[in-house]
């Protein structure tokens, strides 16, 4: 019952719209057609397709542009490099050496400058 009512309503609305569209001034109808065509064209242009140039474009967005941004990027990279160097200094090799020094038959004083 409800479904039929919906169908009737849709049909009636469509009929009414067609009738009213037929009563519109031809210039207005032409303008509406133009606007509809333009909107469809714009929608097509904004749909992104994946391509290698898309990556390039994004990379360009990420890359620093001004001198300040370059400076900040350099500082950031230096800090990362410093952290990595600091981490590597505390590598397993260092801990092996420490254990060796602490357990060697030679006393620790031989290697330590007091």
Partner 1 sequence: MKILFIALTLLCGLNVPQASAAPTPWQKLTPAEQVALAPLYPQWQNLPETQQNNLRRLAQRYHNLDANAKRRFLTRLATWAQLTPAQRQAAREKYHAFNKLPHEKREQVKQIIKQNQIMKSQEAVSAAASTPVSSPLPSDQP
Q: What residues between 23 and 52 interact with partner 1 by CB under 8 A?
A: none
* Rounded Cα gap, residues 18 and 5, in angstroms: 20
Cβ proximity to partner 1, 23 vs 66, nearer residue: 66
For residues 31 and 94, which CB has a smaller minimum distance to partner 1 in the complex?
A: 94
The residue range among 4-12, 17-25, 38-46, 104-112 that interacts with partner 1, by the rule CB under 8 A, is 104-112
Question: Would you say 39 or 111 has its CB closer to partner 1?
Answer: 111
Q: Based on the shown chain and the rule CB under 8 A, indicate whether residue 108 belongs to the binding site for partner 1.
A: yes
Complete DSSP assignment for 21-83: HHHS-HHHHHHHHHHHHHHHHHHHHH-----HHHHHHHHHHHS--SHHHHHHHHHHHHHHHHH
């Amino acid at each position: 019952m409800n479904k039929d009512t919906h169908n009737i309503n849709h049909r009636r609305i469509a009929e009414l719209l067609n009738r009213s569209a037929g009563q519109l001034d031809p210039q207005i109808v032409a303008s509406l057609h133009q606007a509809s065509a333009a909107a469809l064209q714009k929608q097509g242009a904004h749909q992104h397709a994946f391509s290698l140039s898309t990556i390039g474009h994004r990379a360009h967005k990420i890359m620093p542009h001004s001198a300040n941004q370059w400076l900040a990027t350099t500082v950031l990279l230096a800090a990362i490099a410093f952290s990595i160097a600091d981490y590597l200094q505390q590598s397993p090799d260092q801990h092996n050496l420490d254990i060796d020094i602490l357990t060697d038959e030679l006393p620790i004083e031989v290697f330590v400058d007091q």
